[in-house]
Structure 1
Amino acid sequence: MDSNLFWQEMKLELADIPSQFKKKKHPSTIAGADCFELSFQSLLYETIYGMLLIPKTTLPCPIVIDFLGYMNHIETPNQFSHWLKAGYACLVIDNRGQGGKTQDTASYKTIDLDVPMGKGFLSNEDFYMRRLVADNLRAVTLAAQLPEIDQKAIFLRGGSQGGGVALLVNALTEQPIKATFADVPSHSNLSRRIDEGTGSYGVIHDYIQKHPETKTHIKQQLAVFDTQYLVSTIQNPVYASVGSADPICPMTDFFPTYRKLRSYKQLLIYWKKGHGGGEQRQLLKEVQKIAEEIKGEPTRENCNL
């Protein structure tokens, strides 16, 4: 199936579902900030839950939409307080079926294994990732409509699963994005990820070992979710980082995506580091780079592969 048509049909299906966006105050103890619990409807009428943190200010403020890693979920607002300290709002959702408040209740038609990435992968229209991308795409759209938010200063960032989703959403959203930060990103070079069984693609690899006749079909179906085939449409700066010894989202699997980025891009390689990548060091760099982007004075360095 043509990738553009696949995503266009998903967005049309999503647009037909009322968002039913709700926001209520959360009793957070973070000084100088308001915290809200969010909910909205997404694909297949699933209710998605999340959190919005906003610095107490009279001006519309920049926002960082933070995409979570695989099987991570919101535990406390303090997980994201570093964005508040830097002066930015933050929106984050609990990905459906990954251990947080958001459930994944709609049945799968093709296959339904125990873990999220083991659901629906025999058909691109049934695959879990279609739901995940739709949820996060709607989160970006809703964030841009908030009166407290500066629509000209929307940043996307995520690590691992979240890094890959940030790139997918960046490529698909109609909302202008100021910059995207993808740390040790997943969902690139999927054919090899499936062959090697790295990270969350291990469940698909194991299935193919038992059913080798499905290999070609599965790879064809999942190609629409490969970041390398979508990122050429991104127009804003992309700042990426990888760990050279990452066994979960291998560095070399991100290179095909990085090469196809046509907008300004930077890549930091943390040598001899695993899936943690640059960890706190990388986060501090992201905070600094966001400040530079807002001021219109980003440091432009050549970093090509």
Structure 2
Amino acid sequence: MKRILYASLVSTLIFSLCLKAQPRQELVEVIVTPNHADWTYNIGDQAEFSISVYKHNVPLEDIEVNYTVQPDPGYRSTTIWDEGTLSLKSKPVKIKAKKFNEPGFLRCTATVKVEGKEYSSYTTVGFAPDKIKPTTTLPKDFESFWNMGKAELAQVPMNPVLTLMPERCTNKVDVYHVKLDNVKGKIYGILAKPKAAGKYPAILHVPGAGIRPYYGDVEEAAEGFISFTIGIHGIPVNLDQGVYDDLRAGPLSNYQVFNLDDKENAYYRRVYLGCVRAVDFIESVEGFNGEDIAVTGGSQGGALSIVTAGLDDRIDYLAAFYPALSDMTGFLHGRAGGWPQIFVDEFTNKPEKIENSKYFDVVNFARFVKVPGWYSWGYNDNVCPPASTYSAYNVLPAQKELHLFQKTQHWTYPEQHELKNEWLFSKLRE
């Protein structure tokens, strides 16, 4: 019982981090600056950090700065390389870390107390991140396992039910709530499509972690795309928020590890096949041009983007922000594992769960992606730590481009979405 409670609390903590990750402006700013402008170093380099503190954009002096330097295994970090207290005078204080002798990440955290309130910030730097290798391995029957799953799905009639949502329609876009049959349940989503006659490319939006309603992307459809946004939990996506709150706190709490000791019934098996079913549906939509489909999402949605492209050769392009579910076994090897960061306690550290996780790890789907991809994340992410996302990115054999926004944690700048849309839209319109 204690183990189950612990796992549930971990899930709740991570979900809360996702919800609250977008930064807010604080009265006092603690700035940790690395001595490499791109935050990236070679193996064997020594990083140096400068710490300064500002209030109303004016540097503060004569305050104490507490600092730690540690390798970065996500928010669970307990290993400390260096720590201490320094006095901040007229110039920034400097901290030189010891040499980092393997591919990975190093974090410097600085904390100050001003007028009785504590303020903190951190910066994470990378050492040869393009050399990071995954800790998970590819099961010999990985392809056959998923081919059998797709064959099972093919035997399930789609039975689409589309319900017009007049309150969401515009003069240019029709919006529908969609229900599809999936293996062991349903897939629900929101379809937004141009009203004007024509043939359009399509974009599949796959969701981040959690349980919530969805609204569809009307603006995207107005730009000339068939836009399909799905939920993954087999429940309608247009219910009152309270329904999803109750499910998140009750039956679907910690869903990401449901049945992980049984790969045939693991939660994400139905989810991953449901993404394939969503592609089936897109191909049936009147007005689809029959050729061009992209998939995109962030966090769990970033994971599902790679998974869908790895499973389904009808996908032509993918765009993913900080893909979750990547190199989940990282914690078993002394470094950060990807969300949901599960292999840290005896409840999940069981041989069958560790082995079965390989069938659902994004790293192993990335190995089979053959289409161009656009990717973006930051070094400071605690939810999907960069060691995990690089583990997937580095094994991708397809054409790929990574847009690093080093400072970002588990959030994005508007400019990242603008770049993503520019890339994705241009590809689909070629």
Query: Aligning the two structures, in what range does the TM-score lie when normalised by the shorter sequence?
Result: 0.7 to 0.9
State how 1:46-125 maps to structure 2 within 5 Å: 46-77=185-216, 80-96=217-233, 100=237, 114-125=253-264
Matched, 1:236 2:402: no
- CA shift at 1:146, angstroms? 1.7
- CA shift at 1:113, angstroms? 7.6
One-letter code of the match for 2:316? K
Pick from 308, 330, 341 the counterpart of residue 192 of structure 1. 330
Say which is worse superposed, 236-245 or 84-93, in terms of deviation: 84-93
TM-score by length of 2: 0.60
Partner secondary structure for residue 249 of structure 1: coil
Name 1:138's counterpart in structure 2: 277
Deviations 1:79-119 (A, max 9, x none): x233124322210112116894699xxxxxxxx98321131
Name 1:302's counterpart in structure 2: none
Specify whether residues 211 and 165 from structure 1 end up closer, same or farther in structure 2 by C-alpha distance, changes over 3 A only: closer
Matched, 1:288 2:422: yes
Specify whether residues 224 and 247 from structure 1 end up closer, same or farther in structure 2 by C-alpha distance, changes over 3 A only: same
Higher helix share: 1
Deviations 1:257-297 (A, max 9, x none): 1122122100111111101133x22211122112321343x
Distance 1:164 1:54 in 2: 25
One-letter code of the match for 1:252? A
Aligned-residue Cα RMSD (Å) equals 2.5
Matched, 1:181 2:315: no
Pick from 306, 309, 315 the counterpart of residue 170 of structure 1. 309
Pick from 10, 13, 23 the counterpart of residue 162 of structure 2. 23
Q: Which runs of 5+ in 2 are unaligned?
A: 1-138, 244-250
Number of corresponding residues = 279
Specify whether residues 253 and 200 from structure 1 end up closer, same or farther in structure 2 by C-alpha distance, changes over 3 A only: closer
Q: Which has the larger radius of gyration?
A: 2
Partner secondary structure for residue 37 of structure 1: strand
Identity across matched positions, percent: 21
Deviations 1:159-201 (A, max 9, x none): 10011011111111142x2210011111211211677786752
Distance 2:146 2:387 in 1: 26
- CA shift at 1:224, angstroms? 1.2
Q: Which runs of 5+ in 1 are unaligned?
A: 104-111, 297-305
Distance 1:63 1:69 in 2: 20
Name 1:11's counterpart in structure 2: 150
Conserved 8 A contact 2:183-2:274: yes
Distance 2:237 2:418 in 1: 27
One-letter code of the match for 2:176? F
Distance 1:234 1:199 in 2: 19
Conserved 8 A contact 1:49-1:101: no
